[in-house]
A and B are shown apart, each in its own frame.
Chain A
């Protein structure tokens, strides 16, 4: 009998505790973000102050599904549904740094996903145009980005393989899924002097993150930057 009473009291206490609003959750995330930037990004060699600032500013936990929020600032990618992922924080920062973005730059992103990469790029560049093939992901990313004030990001549902001709040329292009080749339309839409970053390789295998430069005469040069493992770019 006494045992049952204790059980009821304990249960009531648990219910009461769960009802208390978690004050300072935002502040907690901010601290997690700063630690993430310091330990996962800065310590691994990302130096661009604008990129670091953007990574500190953009609330990554809002770009992951509710059930993964507690892992949002951990050092790995997370699933966002439809077999897609939000990339590891370091990869987002590293790819953004590779693009050498400046205020006023126009950026094209192939593969919006959750919208996190676009949000980070938008804090460094002028305008970001991003295309997502999944209607569901495109709609949720658009709502999320608009809802959190990323007014310089434009999301479109569609096949990013062809770029975004009406908005071209772009100063920088970022492909956030593994491909077996660089889509020729993207190279066409890259402004002379522009940069393109893409993971190239077999699906699910280790891919080479390739940096493509188009010089002022329109000549293309490429170099491998690091090994990555992205989910496949649809259709490849």
Chain B
């Protein structure tokens, strides 16, 4: 029992550590780059299997020493390795041409891999015990679920610098708890002394604040003369900070015709990335606020009458609220998924001005955006998608791999449904070159009009272009002569372009206004849908290949960095997995007998990951904010898989029919894919419960195949089980990278198909594997 508890604790520490380092490295580096580093570091699981293939015969008989030792070493390594990773000065922007950066990246991966390797070496040892394999695997998965929940709690309660203490403590406890199992250590305080002895050296590393990387937005802001952090609020979703400095001045896409000055401003950052501008004027009568009328986003308000009711999608620090108030809106509802923003706005009135945030007409609603829109049919005169800091990062391709369900076919459709008759939707963004995001939005509008069987496309659509930003405006009727006159006058006075004509035809003949935007054959311009919710992604793999073939800075000028890192992750994962798998093949097996065995566990590794990723992304549609939804879905998935593993062995022994349940996995996964989007209209608590109910059968069944096969081995466990652990570990890493690439290039349905195929293959191979 104590060993099971130890496995539970150690597994929880590993998953908690994974989430913690993702969070901490996201603060210091660009997020897509972090994904690359972590994915590759998770190869530690596979490597532990490889190590055991070669040394299992030696280590397993000495597990009474090895298990506690590896658990203790894991506990000892978490914080030092994280500190070492923080010291590595990696500049991702230089990675395309600087070999030194590759060396640093390799060092970073090794640093991050070591704790995973140590912990998984320990975790693999109990699996070698035949009778208990299903149970230990179950405790392993259940512990991972606990780790996800622990990480959520830690992120909510602790400052970033102290986060790594949580998995360290869990691993130290795992070591201490295992001792009575192996050594009949009966006195509880011996365990406390041991855990303390492990923890003490880790305390030598100070719990300081996390350093931001030099290229993070906040690093620039804090270097400004007179800069200071004027408000700070942390939570599960990240650390939001407001920075004030006299030199902070932002007015995205401000017309060159603007004759005035800007009001005092601040900047808002989430985990060091800029998310918006704070307007620090003291009242709406401040003439300097007129600047908001001189940005492309103001065009929508020129078409509204005073007293309009407006919904703003996402909290941008207040600039869009100010614009609504300056234009005389009577009600402004700002929907924001992150509760931290609302908490912060309410707690610091000197930063979040009362006349904006406590204006009687303004309400800040914490809600999943889609749920907010679908629960408000016919309520607004305008739904505004402002050009926030996120879009700026998206323009650089940094968040090209991030999903957004707001700007998909279904998301914009929900915004249109939330309009009163004659209302409009306005979508602003930073300009990209080529203007792929604009073309994709226009394609969504075309498809929506077709789906709704309405005739407002293209006559109801206009694009206003400035030098830095653009705004797409759509009304569900053709724009009237009055509308067009207002827009034309607006654009003329501000030196913006009013675009009414475009050609979205396939091939190279695309036009946007008078401009030929041909040469787009290397770009993915399919309209974003909920199945492929990537409105800012447009680069194809072939385009990346062409860029890599060209030399010089110019070749990488248009590169979509997030996608580049994703592809790099996949290439590295494939290469390392295959090489390490080949190197660690057991020598005492004939290849004829080995391939079904390897294929079985590889298909489980890939299948589990792709279905899990598909579920997490589907969860992002109905739950919010994304970090919470991902952690909840992950925890639920692991919990039910753990329960599946705990019961698999018993069920298989009693009935012998467990493999017959494998084909139900694709059916249950299809249930998640097709039914989850329908939960969006439910109230939040019911939505959470229903998400868990939907994923439970699938995750439960997915807990069966691994222990069911391992539990059947009668001979050579010391080589076969580690080999299974290695194959499944390596292919899990490969599966997660592959899932990321396939989701963005093919869509979530492709993940469903691939996952289904993997489990069908496993069902076919099971009889041969079980004979081993």
Name A residues whose Cβ lies closer than 8 Å to a Cβ of B: 75-77, 82-83, 88, 133-135, 159, 161, 180-184, 187, 200-206, 208, 210, 212, 220-222, 224, 227-229, 232, 234-236
A204 contacts B252, C-beta separation under 8 Å: no
User: In whole angstroms, how far apart are the Cα atoms of A134 and B253 in the complex?
Assistant: 25
Interface membership of B495, Cβ < 8 A: yes
A232 contacts B433, C-beta separation under 8 Å: no
Interface membership of B432, Cβ < 8 A: yes
A82: B residues at CB distance < 8 A: 223
A180: B residues at CB distance < 8 A: 250-254, 468-469
Within 8 A of A (CB), among B242-263: 245-254, 256-261
A206: B residues at CB distance < 8 A: 395-396, 432-433, 557-558
The residue in chain A whose Cβ has the minimal distance to the Cβ of B258 is A184
Interface membership of B188, Cβ < 8 A: no
Q: 13 interchain pairs (CB within 8 A)?
A: A76-B552, A83-B220, A134-B223, A159-B246, A182-B256, A202-B391, A202-B392, A202-B431, A205-B395, A206-B432, A208-B433, A220-B495, A228-B557
B220 contacts A232, C-beta separation under 8 Å: yes
B431 contacts A235, C-beta separation under 8 Å: no
| Contact status of A227 and B396, CB under 8 A, knowing A202-B430, A208-B433, A234-B224 | no
B438: A residues at CB distance < 8 A: none
Q: Would you give the shortest CB distance from B437 to chain A, in whole angstroms?
A: 11
Interface membership of B29, Cβ < 8 A: no
Report B481-513 CB contacts with A as 1/0, cut-off 8 Å. 000000000000001000000000000000000
| Contact status of A210 and B467, CB under 8 A, knowing A201-B430, A201-B431 | yes
Q: Would you give the shortest CB distance from B281 to chain A, in whole angstroms?
A: 17
Interface membership of B219, Cβ < 8 A: yes
B57: A residues at CB distance < 8 A: none
| Contact status of A222 and B223, CB under 8 A, knowing A202-B468, A205-B392, A235-B249 | no
Q: Would you give the shortest CB distance from B278 to chain A, in whole angstroms?
A: 13
Interface membership of B215, Cβ < 8 A: yes
A212: B residues at CB distance < 8 A: 256
A234 contacts B553, C-beta separation under 8 Å: no
User: In whole angstroms, how far apart are the Cα atoms of A224 and B214 in the complex?
Assistant: 30
Which among B224, B391, B397, B557 is the interface contact of A235 at CB below 8 angstroms?
B224
State the majority secondary structure of interface residues on A.
Answer: loop
Which among A77, A88, A200, A229 is the interface contact of B468 at CB below 8 angstroms?
A200
B258 contacts A161, C-beta separation under 8 Å: no
Interface membership of B532, Cβ < 8 A: no
| Contact status of A227 and B557, CB under 8 A, knowing A159-B247, A182-B256, A200-B467 | yes
Report B467-486 CB contacts with A as 1/0, cut-off 8 Å. 11100000000000000000
Q: Would you give the shortest CB distance from B385 to chain A, in whole angstroms?
A: 16
User: In whole angstroms, how far apart are the Cα atoms of A236 and B396 in the complex?
Assistant: 16
A202 contacts B396, C-beta separation under 8 Å: yes
B252 contacts A88, C-beta separation under 8 Å: no
| Contact status of A184 and B396, CB under 8 A, knowing A202-B468, A227-B433 | no
B247 contacts A235, C-beta separation under 8 Å: yes
Interface membership of B393, Cβ < 8 A: yes
User: In whole angstroms, how far apart are the Cα atoms of A173 and B258 in the complex?
Assistant: 18
B430 contacts A205, C-beta separation under 8 Å: yes
B224 contacts A229, C-beta separation under 8 Å: no
Interface membership of B274, Cβ < 8 A: yes
Residue picked from B224, B247, B398, most chain A C-beta under 10 Å: B247
A234: B residues at CB distance < 8 A: 220-221, 223-224, 247
Interface membership of B225, Cβ < 8 A: yes
B468: A residues at CB distance < 8 A: 180-181, 200-202, 208
User: In whole angstroms, how far apart are the Cα atoms of A221 and B225 in the complex?
Assistant: 33
Interface membership of B343, Cβ < 8 A: no
Within 8 A of A (CB), among B313-334: none
User: In whole angstroms, how far apart are the Cα atoms of A222 and B468 in the complex?
Assistant: 12
Q: Would you give the shortest CB distance from B739 to chain A, in whole angstroms?
A: 27
B431: A residues at CB distance < 8 A: 201-202, 208
The residue in chain B whose Cβ has the minimal distance to the Cβ of A135 is B225
Interface membership of B97, Cβ < 8 A: yes
User: In whole angstroms, how far apart are the Cα atoms of A212 and B220 in the complex?
Assistant: 27
Question: Apart from A201-B430, A235-B221, what 4 extra A-B contacts exist at CB < 8 Å?
Answer: A133-B225, A182-B256, A184-B259, A187-B256
User: In whole angstroms, how far apart are the Cα atoms of A2 and B332 in the complex?
Assistant: 86
Within 8 A of A (CB), among B72-95: 93
B93: A residues at CB distance < 8 A: 204
Which among A135, A159, A203, A220 is the interface contact of B256 at CB below 8 angstroms?
A220
Residue picked from A159, A187, A236, most chain B C-beta under 10 Å: A236
Which among A75, A183, A201 is the interface contact of B395 at CB below 8 angstroms?
A201
A236 contacts B249, C-beta separation under 8 Å: yes
B398 contacts A204, C-beta separation under 8 Å: yes
User: In whole angstroms, how far apart are the Cα atoms of A182 and B558 in the complex?
Assistant: 23
B249: A residues at CB distance < 8 A: 161, 183, 235-236
